[in-house]
Amino acid sequence: ISSTISTSQSFQHITTSLHITKAPFQQHTSLSGMQQIRNASILRSKISDQNRNSIKATTTAMQTACLNDDPCCNLWAKNGECPNNVKYMRMHCRRSCNYCQSTDNRRNGCFDRHISCFYMRLQGECKQRTKWMAENCQASCDWCNISAYDLCIRTALIN
C-alpha cells in the first residue's frame, strides 16, 4: 500500500511539473521557436534547482539524525564490526560507529533518543518496530530494566 501511495504522490508531482513546463508555450504562442526553447530551458533549470534544494534539505535532515537502527549496534561496535562490516554498520549503526555526531553519546541510563518516542509508543510502534524503538525509545517503551545485551537478544528473537 505504501508503494502505491508514494507512486501516486510522485505521479502527482510529475503531473504538476509537466503542467508548469507546458505553460510558457500556451501563454506565449507568438514567441519564436528559439525564444520558446530558451524559456523552456530557463523553466527546467528553475525546477531542477527546486528539486536540488529539496534533495539537499532531505539529506541534511537525514544526516542530523544520529541514531542506530538496532539495539545490538553498541555490542557489534565493541566487537569490531564497524571496520569489519562497514557497509551494514554505516547504514544501520551510525551512532555506535561514530559515522555521525550525536549529542547523547556520553549519556548513561535509560532515556529516549528521539523527540517523538512517546507519540510513537501511543501509535503501537514499540511492538511494530521493536528493534528501532528498543534502541531509540527505551524509556517510552518501558524497557529500562533490561540490559543492553538482553535487549539485543530479545529483539533478535522477536524479529
Tens digit of each residue's pLDDT (9 = 90 or more) over 40-66: 556 555 555 555 554 444 333 444 589
pLDDT top residue among 3 and 100: 100
What's the per-residue H, E or C state across 4-57?
A: HHHHHHHHHHHHHHHHHHHHHHHHCCCCCHHHHHHHHHHHHHHHHHHHHHHHHH
Which residues make Cβ contacts (< 8 Å) with residue 64, sequence separation at least 6?
none
Say how far apart CA 106 and CA 99 lie, in whole Å.
15
pLDDT tens digits along 85-136: 999 999 999 999 999 988 766 667 789 999 999 999 999 999 999 999 999 9
Closest C-alpha to 154, from 41, 36, 71, 86: 71
Give the burial class of 34: count Cβ atoms within 10 A of its Cβ; 0-12 exposed, 13-18 middle, 19 or more buried.
Answer: exposed
Average pLDDT of the chain, as a whole number: 72
In this predicted structure, the answer to whether residue 145 has a pLDDT above a threshold of 70 is: yes
In this predicted structure, the answer to whether residue 1 has a pLDDT above a threshold of 90 is: no
30-34, 107-111, 142-146 — which is least confidently predicted? 30-34
Give the three-state DSSP class for 60: helix
Say how far apart CA 101 and CA 112 lie, in whole Å.
17
Binning pLDDT at 50, 70 and 90, where does residue 11 land?
very low
In this predicted structure, the answer to whether residue 71 has a pLDDT above a threshold of 80 is: yes
CB 141 within 8 A of CB 121: yes
Instruction: For the chain, give the percent of residues with pLDDT over 90.
Output: 48
Q: What is the CA radius of gyration of the chain?
A: 23
